[in-house]
């Protein structure tokens, strides 16, 4: 019995035995489609984006080398400078709230009890809806004339008149974050659940028999052991928020007065409204470098 | 008991928007008729979305199953490099390479093409899919393959006749993730498709809010939301087990 386990365990990870080698050509054939897709659609655009950023590259017509103009003019792009500030603010608020809500949900549904599967599904379900669809849903739901939220709040006496859900910069940010929490809390709950379930129950039992109370168990056992999973969730949330596009394009359309224009929205506008692909490529390179750097840093610090 | 009260209140908060959208879309059944006639017609957009999803799911399954088998069972030069290059797709923010992809697809004659869009989706799915499939093939006992080879099958026949059936759960998981991503994505089709008749549902329905003169028809908009959301909701509920498993094994260890 032990023998079989060791054998299959080794077979899964050790290098294949001699008679499996010498099949290099076949191996390459199986991997060829992967290599083509990765080479043509990932590595080539990665090189191309750098090359484009060194050129004046209009949407139509020939490109001309103009380095480093595209990079120099980033600082003069007021829309982008504002977008950096706005996106950072959005990222911090979203990440803090999303982590809190997701952790709360995960703790509520972590134990197997009757009916708990229903609640897990209910919390996750918005995550199956596309982000564009979710944005349009909120766009209707928070509309003053058509949506149900204003009449409900008024009937409860919470507000007297219709709320400008996306009419002021702060409310637009607040409403967008509500949308994002609704759409992503369940997804992040699922991430944290996988981490919570990896904590052996013996650890909890030992702590309980040592007389630890609930709060001590949470701060001294659950949180430290959940650290790698929390780190992963933070990285995903920070990256996703810094690259926010759909929610602002669909739900607030950058408004009011360009107060909710995210960094990626500026890239999009530069490329397809100002027809300046070179400028958009330079912004992309800056974003890419910043995010790869940030991810590496976060992985080192948090794991 | 108080836990269940909290849970129920939260469940109402999370499910209310979906329920409301369904109700609002049906309040006037003509919403669906109006939407069916919007722009190039709902049938055009739905067909485009289905085509893109089918090509993405099919392409992802074929490429990742072949690749996963190759990575799990063969040794070849450049193997580790290729695997790392594939995983690096996860590190590079998706939005930053869509501009060069738009230009590149132009060189390949695939601009404004559903095939080009699907290929881009396959690329974005590949790190997760390849990782899942490699692990699935590695977990199979070697005896299964050896038996097929002894029976006179070549490796490809062993792969297609015997092994593929054994990794079916992983294929379902990979297919589900590929479907949800390609059906729902908004940014890639917005950039890569520039002609109304090739729009997928998300781009087309969002354009309802921007291209209608005067007032936005909110009822029709919610009908659009339902058409987009229902397939995903149903598929997720039916295949939930596979989604969660993919999450545990692949999505997290990447």
Q: Identify which of B63, B103, B228 has the shortest CB distance to residue A48.
A: B103
Domain boundaries, chain A: 19-53, 70-302
Q: Is pLDDT at B254 greater than 50 in this prediction?
A: no
Which CA distances in Å does A51 have to A3, A59, A67, B124, B153? 56, 15, 10, 22, 48
Mean pLDDT (chain B, rounded): 90
Report the pLDDT value the prediction gives residue B250, as an integer from 0 to 100: 56
Q: Please, which residues bridge with residue A276 across strands?
A: A58
Smallest CA–CA distance, residue B120 to chain A, in Å, is 7
CA nearest neighbour of B223 among B15, B13, B50, B37: B37
Q: Which residues of chain A have pLDDT under 70?
A: 1-22, 303
| Angle CA A96–A120–B229, to nearest 5 | 90
Question: What average pLDDT does the segment B172-200 reach?
Answer: 94
Higher-confidence residue of A9 and B92: namely: B92
Report the pLDDT value the prediction gives residue B231, as an integer from 0 to 100: 96
Alpha-carbon gap, residue B2 to B5, rounded angstroms = 5
Q: Identify which of B155, B222, B244 has the shortest CB distance to residue A190.
A: B244
Cβ contact A121–B97 (<8 Å): no
Q: Kindly report which listed range (A136-145, A155-164, B5-14, B98-107) carries the lowest average pLDDT score.
A: A155-164
Alpha-carbon gap, residue B89 to B85, rounded angstroms = 7
Query: Percent of chain B having pLDDT more than 70?
Result: 96
B236: its two tokens: 């997720």
Q: Is pLDDT at B50 greater than 80 in this prediction?
A: yes
Q: Is pLDDT at B209 greater than 90 in this prediction?
A: no
B74-B79-B85-B87 Cα dihedral, nearest 10 degrees: 40
Cβ contact A16–B120 (<8 Å): no
CATH for the stretch A70-302: 1.10.3720.10
Q: Is B123 exposed, middle or buried (0-12, 13-18, 19+ CB in 10 A)?
A: buried
Q: Is pLDDT at B35 greater than 90 in this prediction?
A: no
Q: Which residues of B touch A108 (CB under 8 A)?
A: 3, 6-7, 10
CA nearest neighbour of A29 among B237, B49, B70, B238: B70
Residues contacting A62, CB < 8 A, separation 6+: none
Nearest chain A residue (CA) to B194: A272
B85 and B153 Cβ atoms separated by less than 8 Å: no
CATH for the stretch B30-251: 1.10.3720.10
Report the pLDDT value the prediction gives residue A182, as an integer from 0 to 100: 97
Smallest CA–CA distance, residue B248 to chain A, in Å, is 6
Report the pLDDT value the prediction gives residue A2, as an integer from 0 to 100: 33
Cβ contact A28–B14 (<8 Å): no
Cβ contact B103–A128 (<8 Å): no
- Best A3, A107, A120, A130 residue to mutate vs chain B (most B CBs within 10 Å): A130
Q: Is pLDDT at B124 greater than 90 in this prediction?
A: yes
A29: its two tokens: 């054939």
pLDDT in tens, B220-249: 899 999 999 999 999 999 998 888 877 776
Report the pLDDT value the prediction gives residue B52, as an integer from 0 to 100: 98
At A212 the three-state DSSP class reads: coil
Q: Identify which of B101, B235, B240 has the shortest CB distance to residue A45.
A: B101
Residues contacting B70, CB < 8 A, separation 6+: A26, A27, A28, A29, A30, A31, A34, B76
Cβ contact A194–B252 (<8 Å): yes
Could you identify the residue written with the tokens 């969002």? Answer: B206
ipTM of the complex: 0.92
Smallest CA–CA distance, residue B32 to chain A, in Å, is 15
Report the pLDDT value the prediction gives residue A303, as an integer from 0 to 100: 65
Domain boundaries, chain B: 30-251
Q: Identify which of B183, B184, B218 has the shortest CB distance to residue A146.
A: B218
A34-A35-A41-A42 Cα dihedral, nearest 10 degrees: 100
pLDDT level of residue B213 (50, 70, 90 thresholds)? low
Q: Which residues of B touch A281 (CB under 8 A)?
A: 99-100
Smallest CA–CA distance, residue A30 to chain B, in Å, is 5
Residues contacting A55, CB < 8 A, separation 6+: A63, A64, A65, A66, A67, A70, A278
Nearest chain A residue (CA) to B14: A123
Which CA distances in Å does A286 have to A281, A294, B86, B97, B181? 9, 12, 22, 12, 26
pTM of the model: 0.91
CA terminus-to-terminus distance, chain B: 39
Cβ contact B14–A123 (<8 Å): yes
Q: Identify which of B6, B86, B102 has the shortest CB distance to residue A38.
A: B86
């Amino acid at each position: 019995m032990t023998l079989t386990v060791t054998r299959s365990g080794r077979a899964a990870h050790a290098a294949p035995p001699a008679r499996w080698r010498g099949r290099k050509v076949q191996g390459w054939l199986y991997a060829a489609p992967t290599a083509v897709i990765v080479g043509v659609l990932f590595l080539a655009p990665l090189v191309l984006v750098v090359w484009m950023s060194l050129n004046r590259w209009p949407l139509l017509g020939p490109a001309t080398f103009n380095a480093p103009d595209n990079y120099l003019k980033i600082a003069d792009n007021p829309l982008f400078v504002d977008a950096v500030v706005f996106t950072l603010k959005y990222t911090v608020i979203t990440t803090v709230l999303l982590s809190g809500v997701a952790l709360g949900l995960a703790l509520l549904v972590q134990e197997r009890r009757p009916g708990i599967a229903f609640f897990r599904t209910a919390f996750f379900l918005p995550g199956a809806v596309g982000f564009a669809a979710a944005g349009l849903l909120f766009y209707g739901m928070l509309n003053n004339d058509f949506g149900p939220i204003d009449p409900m709040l008024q009937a409860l006496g919470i507000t007297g008149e219709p709320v400008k859900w996306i009419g002021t910069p702060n409310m637009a940010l607040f409403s967008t974050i509500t949308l994002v929490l609704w759409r992503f809390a369940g997804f992040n709950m699922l991430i944290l659940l996988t981490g919570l379930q990896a904590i052996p129950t013996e650890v909890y039992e030992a702590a309980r028999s040592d007389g630890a109370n609930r709060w001590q168990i949470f701060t001294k056992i659950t949180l430290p052991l959940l650290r790698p999973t929390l780190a992963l969730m933070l990285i995903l949330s920070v990256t996703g928020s810094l690259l926010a596009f759909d929610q602002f394009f669909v739900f607030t359309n950058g408004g009011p007065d360009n107060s909710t224009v995210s960094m990626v929205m500026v890239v999009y506008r530069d490329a397809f409204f100002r027809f300046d692909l070179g400028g958009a490529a330079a912004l992309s390179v800056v974003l890419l470098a910043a995010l790869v750097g940030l991810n590496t840093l976060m992985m080192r610090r948090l794991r | 008991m108080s836990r269940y009260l909290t849970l129920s209140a939260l469940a109402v908060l999370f499910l209310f928007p979906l329920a409301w959208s369904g109700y609002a879309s049906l309040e006037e059944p003509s919403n669906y008729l109006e939407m069916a006639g919007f722009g190039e017609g709902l049938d055009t957009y739905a067909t485009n979305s289905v085509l893109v999803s089918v090509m993405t799911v099919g392409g992802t399954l074929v490429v990742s199953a072949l690749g996963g088998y190759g990575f799990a069972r063969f040794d070849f030069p450049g193997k580790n490099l290729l695997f790392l290059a594939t995983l690096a797709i996860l590190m590079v923010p998706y939005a930053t390479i869509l501009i060069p992809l738009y230009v590149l697809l132009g060189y390949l004659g695939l601009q404004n093409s559903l095939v080009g869009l699907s290929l881009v989706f396959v690329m974005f799915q590949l790190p997760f899919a390849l990782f899942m499939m490699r692990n699935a093939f590695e977990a199979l006992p070697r005896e299964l393959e050896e038996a097929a080879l002894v029976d006179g099958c070549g490796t490809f026949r062993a792969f297609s006749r015997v092994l593929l059936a054994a990794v079916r759960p992983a294929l379902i998981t990979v297919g589900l993730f590929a479907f949800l991503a390609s059906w729902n994505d908004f940014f890639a089709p917005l950039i890569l498709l520039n002609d109304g008749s090739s729009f997928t549902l998300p781009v087309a329905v969002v354009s309802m809010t921007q291209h209608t003169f005067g007032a936005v028809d909110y009822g029709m908009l919610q009908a659009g939301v339902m058409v987009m959301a229902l397939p995903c909701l149903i598929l997720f509920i039916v295949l939930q087990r596979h989604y969660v498993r993919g999450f545990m094994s692949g999505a997290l260890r990447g």
